[in-house]
Structure 1
Amino acid sequence: MRLARRLRSTSYIAALCLLLSCTWLTVFITQNMFGSSKTYYPRLQPDKVREDRLTATMSSVKDRLNEIGDSGKNRTGKHKVTSGSFDLEHVLLTKEKNNPTTETLSPAAGGAPTKHSYADQQVANMLTELTKRNEKFLVIKKQDSYLKFLRNDRKLKKRKGFGLPVYRNYKGYSNWEKFHMGIDQYALYDPADPAIGGLLRDLSTLPIVDVEQKKGGTQLKLIFIFNDEGHALFKPMRFSRETETLINHFYFSDFERHTAEIAAFHLDRLLGFYRIPPTAGRVVNITHDIKRLATNKLAKTFFISPANNICFHGTCSYYCDTNHAICGNPDTIEGSFAAFLPPSRIVPRQTWRNPWSRSYSKHRKAYWEVYDDLCEKIRYKPLYSSGRRLLDIMDMHIFDFLTGNLDRHHYETIEVYGNNTFLLHFDNGRGFGRQMHDEMSILAPITQCCLIRHSTFVKLGKLYSGPDKLSDMMRTSLSADDLTPILTDLHLKALDRRVNKILVVIVGCLQTKNYTDVIVDDHL
Structure 2
Amino acid sequence: MKWKERISLAIFICLVMFAAVLVLDIQMSRATSHGSGRFVPMHGRVQHKSFQRRYLQKIQSGQIVNNSSERMELGKSVQKNNDADEHHDETNQLPNPLPDVAAIRKSLNAQIRTKLVKPENEEYFRRRDSFQVLLDFADEAEILGQAKKKKKRRDPTLGAVLGYEMNSNSSVWDKYHLSITKGELYPEDGDYIEELVDEMNGSPIVNISQKAGGTQLKLVVEFPSQRYALFKPMRFPREQETLPNHFYFTDFERHNAEIAAFHLDRILGFRRAPPVVGRVLNMTSEIYALADTELLKTFFISPANNLCFHGRCGYYCDTAHAICGNPDMLEGSLAAFLPDKEIAPRKTWRHPWRRSYHKRRKAQWEEDDHYCDIIREISPYNAGRRLPDLVDMAILDFLMGNMDRHHYETIRAFGNDSVPIHLDHGRGFGRPKHDEISILAPLYQCCIVRRTTLATLLRFEFGSKRLSQILRASLSRDPVQPILWDPHYEALDRRVGIVLDVIKECIDKNDPADVLVGYSSWKKGR
Common topology (TM > 0.5): yes
Q: State the Cα deviation string for residues 367-401 of structure 1 (Å, max 9, x = none).
A: 11111111011112231111001100100000000
CA distance in 2, matches of 1:244, 1:312: 23
Q: State the Cα deviation string for residues 259-286 of structure 1 (Å, max 9, x = none).
A: 0000000001111111011110000011
Equivalent position amino acid for 1:161 in 2: P
Three-state SS of the structure 2 residue aligned to 1:419 is: helix
Shift of 1:110: 9.6
Q: What pairs with 1:379-418 in structure 2 (closer than 5 Å)?
A: 379-418=376-415
Tell me which of 112, 120, 123 is aligned to 1:112: 120
Determine if contact 1:282/1:335 at 8 Å carries over to the other structure: yes
Q: State the Cα deviation string for residues 269-326 of structure 1 (Å, max 9, x = none).
A: 1111110111100000111111101112211111111122211011122321111111
Distance change (3 Å), C-alpha of 1:167 and 1:481: farther
Determine if contact 1:354/1:409 at 8 Å carries over to the other structure: yes
CA distance in 2, matches of 1:126, 1:109: 25
CA RMSD across the alignment: 2.6
Three-state SS of the structure 1 residue aligned to 2:232 is: strand
2:232 counterpart of 1:224 = no
2:310 counterpart of 1:302 = no
Equivalent position amino acid for 1:322 in 2: T
TM-score by length of 2: 0.74
Three-state SS of the structure 1 residue aligned to 2:514 is: helix
CA distance in 1, matches of 2:151, 2:245: 47
Distance change (3 Å), C-alpha of 1:426 and 1:351: same
Three-state SS of the structure 1 residue aligned to 2:140 is: coil
Tell me which of 151, 155, 158 is aligned to 1:160: 155
CA distance in 2, matches of 1:77, 1:475: 21
2:364 counterpart of 1:356 = no
Three-state SS of the structure 2 residue aligned to 1:253 is: coil
Q: State the Cα deviation string for residues 41-71 of structure 1 (Å, max 9, x = none).
A: xxxxxxxxxxxxxxxxxxxxxxxxx9xx999
Three-state SS of the structure 2 residue aligned to 1:418 is: helix
CA distance in 2, matches of 1:111, 1:473: 17
Three-state SS of the structure 1 residue aligned to 2:289 is: helix
Three-state SS of the structure 1 residue aligned to 2:417 is: coil
Q: What pairs with 1:317-332 in structure 2 (closer than 5 Å)?
A: 317-332=314-329
- Percent of aligned positions with the same letter in both sequences? 49
Q: What pairs with 1:250-289 in structure 2 (closer than 5 Å)?
A: 250-289=247-286
CA distance in 1, matches of 2:326, 2:441: 42
Structure (1 or 2) with the larger CA radius of gyration = 2
Determine if contact 1:140/1:462 at 8 Å carries over to the other structure: no
CA distance in 1, matches of 2:304, 2:124: 44
Equivalent position amino acid for 2:138 in 1: L
CA distance in 1, matches of 2:324, 2:369: 45
| Aligned equivalent of 2:438 | 441
Distance change (3 Å), C-alpha of 1:228 and 1:119: farther
2:367 counterpart of 1:373 = no
Shift of 1:333: 0.8
Determine if contact 1:314/1:320 at 8 Å carries over to the other structure: yes
Distance change (3 Å), C-alpha of 1:166 and 1:344: same
Equivalent position amino acid for 1:303 in 2: F
Equivalent position amino acid for 2:131 in 1: A
Equivalent position amino acid for 1:326 in 2: I
Q: What pairs with 1:336-355 in structure 2 (closer than 5 Å)?
A: 336-355=333-352
Tell me which of 126, 133, 139 is aligned to 2:133: 126
Unaligned runs of 5+ in 1: 1-65, 80-107, 131-136
Determine if contact 2:258/2:425 at 8 Å carries over to the other structure: yes
CA distance in 1, matches of 2:424, 2:434: 21
Q: State the Cα deviation string for residues 2-23 of structure 1 (Å, max 9, x = none).
A: xxxxxxxxxxxxxxxxxxxxxx
Determine if contact 2:143/2:455 at 8 Å carries over to the other structure: no
CA distance in 2, matches of 1:126, 1:355: 30
| Over 4 Å off, 4+ runs | 69-72, 74-79, 108-111, 116-119
Determine if contact 1:118/1:496 at 8 Å carries over to the other structure: no
Equivalent position amino acid for 1:318 in 2: Y
CA distance in 2, matches of 1:375, 1:245: 30
| Aligned equivalent of 1:138 | 138
| Aligned equivalent of 1:169 | 165
Three-state SS of the structure 2 residue aligned to 1:358 is: coil
Unaligned runs of 5+ in 2: 1-49, 66-115
CA distance in 2, matches of 1:111, 1:268: 27
Tell me which of 433, 457, 475 is aligned to 1:460: 457
Distance change (3 Å), C-alpha of 1:442 and 1:178: same
| Aligned equivalent of 1:73 | 57
Distance change (3 Å), C-alpha of 1:459 and 1:109: farther
Determine if contact 1:212/1:223 at 8 Å carries over to the other structure: yes
CA distance in 2, matches of 1:162, 1:258: 30
Distance change (3 Å), C-alpha of 1:430 and 1:159: same
CA distance in 1, matches of 2:124, 2:331: 32
Shift of 1:73: 2.9
Shift of 1:345: 1.1
CA distance in 1, matches of 2:142, 2:324: 49
CA distance in 2, matches of 1:300, 1:334: 21
Select between 338-347 and 175-184 the one with higher mean Cα deviation. Answer: 175-184
Shift of 1:203: 0.9
Distance change (3 Å), C-alpha of 1:305 and 1:118: farther
Shift of 1:161: 3.1
Three-state SS of the structure 2 residue aligned to 1:334 is: strand
Q: State the Cα deviation string for residues 163-201 of structure 1 (Å, max 9, x = none).
A: 333352354532112111211222111131221111010
Equivalent position amino acid for 2:212 in 1: K
Equivalent position amino acid for 1:500 in 2: G
Determine if contact 1:311/1:325 at 8 Å carries over to the other structure: yes
